[in-house]
Structure 1
């Protein structure tokens, strides 16, 4: 027996390749989710709504990967339609139907996590309300996508059992239009923070890094263009293999791109330890992870009655650390306590120098 059930061992298939990609990318995205959760929950101690969203998004992406892998055993990935066993079609179509909600939820989830994270550093005003409007529009679109996808045929069971009389919408026009609108929301979600970052008063090098990280997400748009081309070639069940393969790449890459900007505190911590051999005076005598979180988290000054500050992980102080006093009474040479915060629509930098002597 070959990779696919009810086929010969020599039936050509890319099912094992689809399985390998799904497993590898799902594990990679899981690693970034775990690192993000560690930074937000244990270093910054400021886990928020967007962090819970990205966890649920990974669960949806993992569900889609599992369905995809099982589907390869029922015919997904076969190269020649003549090798597709007719007895596999029922299970193949059921898995196709089950996988759709996982996919739609995952591509919506990473955009929701990204958009809600912007609300951390965008000051309240017209641009803040624009971001909220984009979030609502994105939700409504993906909800409509899901509802139509689940009801393409009437009765619904006709989607996996062609023997049931009924009618179905034409799949290719529907998938093409949905993929095009998804691409539009991908671009909006990735480019939305650019105006705020370009006007911010942070170092040029840091600004370029942040813009580059968000800009890297535009690669997802390229994937959508590829998916649209694969949709146009859908003629039989096995033609969906490239579409599902690129869908797996898309949702996992979206999760990874969303998580990367939140890992800056962790990256900077290990970078400093590697430079100092792990015995930096900046970390000696301080409590990790609390001290690291306080030193590397971007702070947002809240307006109104609240006078507290909210830690932000998306954008961190990439250049300076801090020393809270000396170490056992020694002077802290060159130390600076650097905190960036957003106030009145711009990002400022406050530097406090503490000098002590024996």
Structure 2
């Protein structure tokens, strides 16, 4: 152990322990992410909407997030993370091996957890705002960028020492790169795509012509909840730059709880927009209906999804139909877009009118001209 590590231990007190704080943070994010994960699917049930790719991707994201927290808990329990290295050497030197092993797993899990949850967010953006070709192209590029970063981070974590086992077993012959410098280098691109993810939806929301200013502000606030993930990413990058590989690693591990806080915050932020329908219904928040003018006449789409005419009554021979939402892309002939106000999905969608099963089978699909849609008062 270096003299600087010993001096640090003496300054804080050899018996000082920050490990319990690590456990509290891990339990907090396990609880928070478990709650929002299940509420995400409950929200789809409440809104009677389909499960999409971004939702399915949250399943492996949740598993990776839990694995990340469990690994850090093991790092504390088995490797004495949060205690001074000198204390560990005096009490159980073998704990340093377990510390290095769990830290190795943490580095690999972190890169995968962040990449999967950010991929889910990008797919959500693409589903909501992906009307324009440039936006779909940009989000595809961002997906590639995120995964190239994740693969680079994982490779650095795996081959930082040759052989790999040299990371925790220094009794054998081996060598390591400058680990701190390597992780500082790959940490910068991570902060950059966090900033892009935070900023990306705002101009798309304010470019919408068919929703009110109040709705735009509300949607912007919902998406800006993602700033928590961006802030956590910046704080983690700061501590990575402050990290000293020669100075009391088990004690410094406390600051690396941001390796949990960053993906944990991003996971929470990825679920918030999808929870909006349930939040709105729970607090009885009003929604604004939309008047849609298309080839089949002028109708008013009420918040519950009923199809009615100008007078607020069901159109002739359509009174036994309810509304089902399917996503689709725009076509050169007609933009298959309308505003849905019983949840947050305000992007490119087509409306499918499904007949009541009691009246027999059959489906009729309507493609509305979004260019002529305009806000209307409730009927």
Structure 1 residues 240 and 49: CA distance shift in structure 2, 3 A:
farther
Task: Quote the offset at 1:248 in angstroms.
Answer: 1.2
In structure 2, the partner of 1:303 is 331
1:92 and 2:99 aligned: yes
Q: Which of the residues 158, 170, 179 maps onto 1:171?
A: 179
**Structure 1 gap segments, 5+ residues each:** 1-9, 275-281, 284-292, 318-340
1:157 and 2:185 aligned: no
Q: In 1, Cα distance between the equivalents of 2:251 and 2:179? A: 13
In structure 2, the partner of 1:204 is 213
Name the SS of the counterpart of 2:272 in structure 1: helix
Q: In 1, Cα distance between the equivalents of 2:202 and 2:191? A: 18
Structure 1 residues 353 and 218: CA distance shift in structure 2, 3 A:
closer
Q: Which of the residues 52, 55, 60 maps onto 1:51?
A: 55
In structure 2, the partner of 1:67 is 71
Which residues in structure 2 correspond to 1:1-358 (within 5 Å)?
11-41=15-45, 43-84=47-88, 85-120=92-127, 121-201=129-209, 202-231=211-240, 232-234=242-244, 235-272=247-284, 302-303=330-331, 313-315=343-345, 343=370, 348-349=373-374, 351=376
User: Is the 2:334–2:369 contact (alpha carbons within 8 Å) kept by the matching residues of 1?
Assistant: no
Q: TM-score, normalised by structure 1?
A: 0.75
Structure 1 residues 137 and 243: CA distance shift in structure 2, 3 A:
same
In structure 2, the partner of 1:322 is none
**Structure 2 gap segments, 5+ residues each:** 1-13, 287-302, 305-321, 348-367
Q: In 2, Cα distance between the equivalents of 1:87 and 1:101? A: 22
Q: In 2, Cα distance between the equivalents of 1:209 and 1:142? A: 32
Task: Quote the offset at 1:186 in angstroms.
Answer: 0.6
> In terms of mean alpha carbon deviation, does 299-308 or 44-53 score higher?
299-308
Q: In 1, Cα distance between the equivalents of 2:121 and 2:370? A: 22
User: Is the 1:11–1:78 contact (alpha carbons within 8 Å) kept by the matching residues of 2?
Assistant: no
Asked which structure has the greater CA Rg, the reply is 2
How many residues in Structure 1 have an aligned counterpart in Structure 2? Answer: 304
RMSD, aligned CA: 3.3
User: Is the 2:229–2:269 contact (alpha carbons within 8 Å) kept by the matching residues of 1?
Assistant: no
Structure 1 residues 107 and 100: CA distance shift in structure 2, 3 A:
same
Structure 1 residues 294 and 22: CA distance shift in structure 2, 3 A:
farther
User: Is the 2:40–2:274 contact (alpha carbons within 8 Å) kept by the matching residues of 1?
Assistant: yes
